[in-house]
Amino acid sequence: MPSKRENILARVATALAGTSGVGSRIYRSRVVPLARGEAPALVVEPVSDSAVQDTLSTLMWTLTFRVSVIVRGNIPDQLADSAMLDVHSKLMGDATLDGLVIIMLPSTVSFEMLEADQPAGVVSAEFTAQYRTSLNSLS
Instruction: Enter the pTM of the model.
Output: 0.93
**Domain for residue 139, yes or no?**
no
The reply to whether 83 falls in a domain is: yes
pLDDT, averaged across the chain: 94
**CA–CA separation, 17 vs 131, rounded Å?**
23
CATH code where residue 38 lies: 3.30.70.1700
Tell me the percentage of the chain whose pLDDT exceeds 70. 100
Residue 107 contacts residue 124 (beta carbons within 8 Å): no
CA 115 to chain centre: 24
- For residue 111, what are the domain limits? 4-134
Give the separation between CA 8 and CA 13, rounded to whole angstroms.
Answer: 9
Residue 38, pLDDT > 90, answer: no
Please give the tally of structural domains in the chain.
Answer: 1
What's the mean pLDDT in 91-108?
96
